[in-house]
Amino acid sequence: MTSDRIAVFGGVYSNYLALDAVCRDARRRGAHTLYCLGDLGSFGPHPERVFPLLDSHRVVTIQGNYEVSLAARRDDCQCGYTDPRDNRFARLAYEYTAEKTPEAAKDWMGSLPAALRKDFGHRSLLMAHGSPRKVNEFLWRSTSPAPFLRRLLDEARTEVLLVTHTGLPWHRRLPDGRHVVNVGVIGRPANNGRTEVVYALLTEGEELDVEWSWVAYDHRRLAREMEEERIPKEFVETILTGWWTTCLEILPAKERAEGRF
């Protein structure tokens, strides 16, 4: 009997080239179901190119804050930033995405579930965007201590919790054997100076196996298309260098220290 294996990824951010590469990689690695935890649009070009790929790769998708906002035709993404500069860039990304996303796609976003529960082997698994309690809550590794995660898992009645929203991947196994995984995002690099993007492969067994897969894609082409679409150069720079230039003020001390800016 083979073990069940799934692929889980976060924020596509309109990076349709990375989405295609990640889905192919996940199938090649034996994932039989692919899950996306929301935020289909944001920094990247041509948001409309994401939807056919989600369809052809049969990706099971839940809502992120972007989908909640776009479906409701809100004028802001509700990303949850507190810094004016971060919010200015978030607004630019959202306005571009809102303008270029087909109305039918916005309606479809409204039909997506906010969270997804699943039995994975003998474990219960819950997928959410920010956290089980709030779509735009940031769960960073350095500010999500084990006792707090235990409370979140208790309240959500699950043994495994998968989230995204922050853009930085991490996995914490609690002393009681339960797991919390922030799967990161595939829309932009993880502020580590690498241009690849990352997603999580989960394999069930006696021990839950959580493996990171780093995927290269044609990031130069994406950068060119972003420039052609007059997307802010700060976003393009991140794609080309792997270092974040925006969304920095929300980072806790440890995560901030790991980046370049």
Which parts of this chain interact with other proteins (CB under 8 A)? Answer: 82, 84-85, 88, 134, 140-145, 147-152, 154-155, 249-257, 261
Least Å distance, CB 142 to other proteins, is: 4
154 or 218, CB closer to other proteins?
154
- Per the CB < 8 A criterion, the answer to whether 170 and 182 are in contact is yes
CA distance 7 to 201: 5
Least Å distance, CB 188 to other proteins, is: 19
* Parallel, antiparallel or unpaired: strands 116-120 and 123-127: antiparallel
104 or 175, CB closer to other proteins?
175
CA distance 261 to 248: 8
Contacts 24+ apart (CB under 8 A), 74-81: 77/42, 78/135, 78/136, 79/136, 79/247, 80/130, 80/136, 80/137, 80/138, 80/250, 81/247, 81/249, 81/250
Least Å distance, CB 160 to other proteins, is: 18
32 or 133, CB closer to other proteins?
133
Least Å distance, CB 63 to other proteins, is: 18
Least Å distance, CB 158 to other proteins, is: 15
124 or 142, CB closer to other proteins?
142
Q: What are residue 163's DSSP bridge partners?
A: 182
121 or 232, CB closer to other proteins?
232
